C-alpha cells in the first residue's frame, strides 16, 4: 500500500521558516521511510491548486488533439530536452520489443522562465505556472529529504538553485495516452523503468494504469487519488544516498476494458543543477562521482528513437 503524507503544515500556503522543527522531522521521517520501502508516496494538501492542475490538463489535451502534421513542427530534436515526442517514438524499457503507446510534450525551461520559441502558447501559460509551483514545492521536499538523511536542511537545495533557469534541466512533461482499440503484443502504455532525477511529481487524471514494483517484486496499482501528487524517488537520489533510499521501477499498463479510454498525466522531474557533483552522502564511494549533466544526457537520449532526420 502506498503511504499518504499530509503536507498541510508545510505546504505552499505556509510561510517558510514558520513550521516547527518537530513537524519537519516528522514529515521528513514519513517521506524517507516510504522511500526506504515502497519508493512511492502520495502527497496531499500540497498547496498546488486543483484548478491549476485541471487547466494544465485541458490545455495539454487541446495540443495533443491537433493533427499530427501540426504537432510535428514542435518535434523534439536529438540532444535537446524540450518538444513534442510523437506516438510510439519512445521506449523507456529497452527490453520491450515495441515502443510505448503514448506521446508527450517535454519542457525544460531556460533563461529565467522564458520558453523556447517552439512551445505552443496554449501550453506555455499553464505550464509556466505549474512549473513555478512545482519548483517551490520541490525545494520544500528537498529540505525534508535533507533532514531525513541527517544533513543540514539546505544541503540538497543548494544543488537545485537553477530550476527554471539555464544550467538545470528539471523537466515538466505532459503525457498523453490516446484511446486505442488494442495494444500490440508485449506493448505497454509506458514500459517498466525508474526515473533518473532526484524526485518526480506525478499528477494523474481519473484513469488508472500506473503500477509500482513492490518489495516482493510484484507490481501493485497506484490508483488516482483526487487532489494528491504521486511522488517517487529517482535513480540519482538513490545513488546520492548510497542506496539508503530506493528508486522504484514503475509502469503504465492497460487492461482490456481500459485501453479504449483516454489517460493523461503530468510529470515534473526534479533534477540538480548541471554542474552538481553526485557523490555518496555517506562517504562510502559506493558509486563513482558523476556530474548531473553527464548522468542526464546518458539516460534521456537513450529513451528516444533516432529522430534526427525529422
Condensed to tens digits (0 to 9), the pLDDT of residues 196-221 reads 999 999 999 999 999 999 989 999 99
Higher pLDDT, 8 or 294: 8
Residue 111: predicted pLDDT: 55
Condensed to tens digits (0 to 9), the pLDDT of residues 45-99 reads 999 999 999 999 999 999 999 999 999 989 988 777 788 999 999 999 989 999 9
Q: CA quadruple 39, 42, 46, 52: dihedral positive or negative?
A: positive
pLDDT, averaged across the chain = 91
Per-residue DSSP letters for 128-158?
A: HHHHHHHHHHHHHHHHHHHHHTTS-TTTTGG
CB atoms within 10 A of CB 306: 9
Q: Which residues pair with 173 in a beta bridge?
A: 106, 267
Instruction: Over range 232-236, report the average pLDDT.
Output: 96
- Three-state DSSP at 71 gives helix
Return all residues near 123 (Cβ < 8 A) that are at least 6 apart: 59, 60, 63, 105, 107, 174
Residue 289: pLDDT above 80?
yes
Residue 211: predicted pLDDT: 97
Distances (CA, A) of 59 to 20, 208, 222, 268, 269: 39, 21, 25, 16, 20
Condensed to tens digits (0 to 9), the pLDDT of residues 35-59 reads 999 999 999 999 999 999 999 999 9
Residue 306: predicted pLDDT: 38
* Apex 152 CA angle, 10 and 41, nearest 5: 45
- Lowest mean pLDDT of 25-34, 51-60, 76-85, 140-149, name the range: 76-85
Determine the straight-line distance between the first and last CA of the chain, rounded to whole angstroms.
Answer: 43
Residue 304: predicted pLDDT: 53
Condensed to tens digits (0 to 9), the pLDDT of residues 155-197 reads 999 999 999 888 998 999 999 999 999 899 999 999 999 999 9
Residue 310: predicted pLDDT: 33
The b/e string for 62-77 (b: 16+ C-beta within 10 A; e otherwise) is ebbeeeeeebeebebe
Condensed to tens digits (0 to 9), the pLDDT of residues 109-130 reads 765 556 667 777 878 888 989 9
Instruction: Over range 8-33, report the average pLDDT.
Output: 96
CB 208 within 8 A of CB 258: yes
Residue 307: predicted pLDDT: 35
Rounded Cα distance between 166 and 237, Å, is 21
Residue 309: predicted pLDDT: 36
Amino acid at each position: 500500500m502506498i503511504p499518504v503524507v499530509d503536507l498541510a503544515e508545510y505546504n505552499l500556503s505556509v510561510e517558510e521558516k514558520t513550521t516547527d522543527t518537530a513537524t519537519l522531522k516528522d514529515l521528513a521521517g514519513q517521506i524517507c521511510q516510504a522511500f526506504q520501502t515502497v519508493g512511492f508516496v502520495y502527497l496531499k494538501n500540497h498547496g498546488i491548486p486543483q484548478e491549476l492542475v485541471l487547466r494544465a490538463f485541458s490545455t495539454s489535451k487541446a495540443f495533443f488533439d491537433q493533427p499530427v502534421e501540426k504537432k510535428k513542427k514542435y518535434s523534439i530534436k536529438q540532444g535537446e530536452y524540450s518538444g513534442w515526442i510523437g506516438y510510439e517514438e519512445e521506449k523507456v524499457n529497452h527490453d520491450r520489443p515495441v515502443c510505448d503507446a503514448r506521446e508527450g510534450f517535454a519542457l525544460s525551461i531556460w533563461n529565467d522562465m522564458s520558453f523556447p520559441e517552439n512551445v505552443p502558447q496554449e501550453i506555455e501559460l499553464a505550464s509556466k505556472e505549474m512549473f513555478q509551483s512545482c519548483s517551490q514545492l520541490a525545494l520544500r521536499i528537498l529540505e525534508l529529504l535533507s533532514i531525513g538523511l541527517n544533513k543540514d536542511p539546505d544541503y540538497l537545495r543548494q544543488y537545485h538553485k537553477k530550476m527554471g533557469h539555464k544550467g538545470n534541466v528539471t523537466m515538466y512533461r505532459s503525457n498523453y495516452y490516446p484511446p486505442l482499440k488494442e495494444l500490440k503484443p508485449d506493448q505497454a502504455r509506458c514500459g517498466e523503468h525508474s526515473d533518473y532525477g532526484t524526485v518526480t511529481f506525478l499528477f494523474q487524471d481519473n484513469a488508472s494504469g500506473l503500477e509500482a514494483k513492490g518489495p516482493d517484486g510484484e507490481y501493485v496499482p497506484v490508483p488516482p487519488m483526487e487532489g494528491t501528487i504521486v511522488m517517487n524517488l529517482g535513480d540519482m537520489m538513490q545513488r546520492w544516498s548510497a542506496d539508503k533510499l530506493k528508486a522504484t521501477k514503475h509502469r503504465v499498463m492497460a487492461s482490456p476494458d481500459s485501453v479504449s479510454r483516454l489517460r493523461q498525466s503530468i510529470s515534473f522531474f526534479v533534477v540538480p543543477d548541471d554542474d552538481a557533483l553526485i557523490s555518496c552522502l555517506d562517504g562510502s564511494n559506493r558509486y563513482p562521482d558523476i556530474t548531473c549533466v553527464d548522468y542526464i544526457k546518458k539516460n534521456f537520449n537513450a529513451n528516444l528513437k533516432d529522430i534526427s532526420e525529422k
